[in-house]
Amino acid sequence: MKKRKVISAIVLLFITASLNCAPAVDDQAAKNKAVVVQTIDVLNTREYEKLDQFYAQDFKRYCQATPEAKVESLNDFKALLSEWDQQFPDAVYELHLIAAEGDLVAFYMTYSGTQEGQMGPFPPTGKKMSLECAGFNRLENGKIVETWVTWDNLAALTELGHFPPPSAEADK
């Protein structure tokens, strides 16, 4: 009988401990999501000095759509953002969906803006685009350490009037 009470007490203790751990995971996911939401606000206000609060100094960004844009530090990221500001000075990031699990935060958003500056080989068109983007941020110790993001370059170039290329239109 005494052995049964001890086992019951251990099982009860284990269940209680397990239940107490679950909210901590949910709390961390909520905190991670809050960090990502705050970064969108900073991107929209272009107060890039505040990014130090949310990104690790050795932050890395991976993007198949822009393989030439190497981002291997927070400073690289700030430089890329400044370049985009010259290309799309009225750009706005609109977050539509966010979900978190473990150290990952998934997002789905729209990047909209008017092309007023040179974008690689593409001259300014003065046209507005609205580009859907999706990706994941990985966080450590409350800061974003890695981002994977993707979007449809062809859709963006078409919206801006860069695609189809002028030679393809002339052949019609």
And the tokens for 30? 């909520």
What is the percent of the chain where pLDDT is above 90?
A: 78
Question: Looking at residue 169, what is its pLDDT?
Answer: 54
pLDDT, tens digit (0-9, with 9 covering 90-100), for 23-62: 555 799 999 999 999 999 999 999 999 999 999 999 999 9
Q: What is the residue-averaged pLDDT of the chain?
A: 88
- Cis before 164 (ω within 30): yes
pLDDT tier at 21, thresholds 50, 70, 90? low
Beta strands in 22-159 (DSSP E): 55-62, 92-101, 104-114, 128-140, 143-151
Phi, psi of 39, deg, nearest 5: -65, -35
Whose structure tokens read 């393989």? Answer: 67
Residue 146 CA, distance from chain mean position: 9
Topology of domain 2-170, per CATH?
Nuclear Transport Factor 2; Chain: A, (3.10.450)
Helical residues (DSSP H) of 46-125, grouped into ranges: 74-87
pTM, rounded to two decimals: 0.80
39 and 109 Cβ atoms separated by less than 8 Å:
no
Average pLDDT for 1-28: 57
Q: What is the mean pLDDT of residues 147-157?
A: 96
Q: Residue 100's pLDDT band (boundaries 50, 70, 90)?
A: very high
Check pLDDT > 70 for residue 22. no
Which amino acid appears at position 97 of this protein?
L
Count of beta carbons in the 10 Å neighbourhood of residue 97:
9
Domain boundaries, the chain: 2-170
| Contact predicate 60/145, CB 8 Å | yes
Tokens at 82, concatenated? 């400044």
Residue labelled with tokens 């009860």: 12
pLDDT at 156 over 50: yes
Determine the Cα–Cα distance for residues 105 and 89; give it in Å rounded to an integer: 27
pLDDT at 11: 44
Which residue matches tokens 């979900």?
99
pLDDT score of 3: 63
Strands 55-62, 92-101: parallel, antiparallel or unpaired by DSSP? unpaired
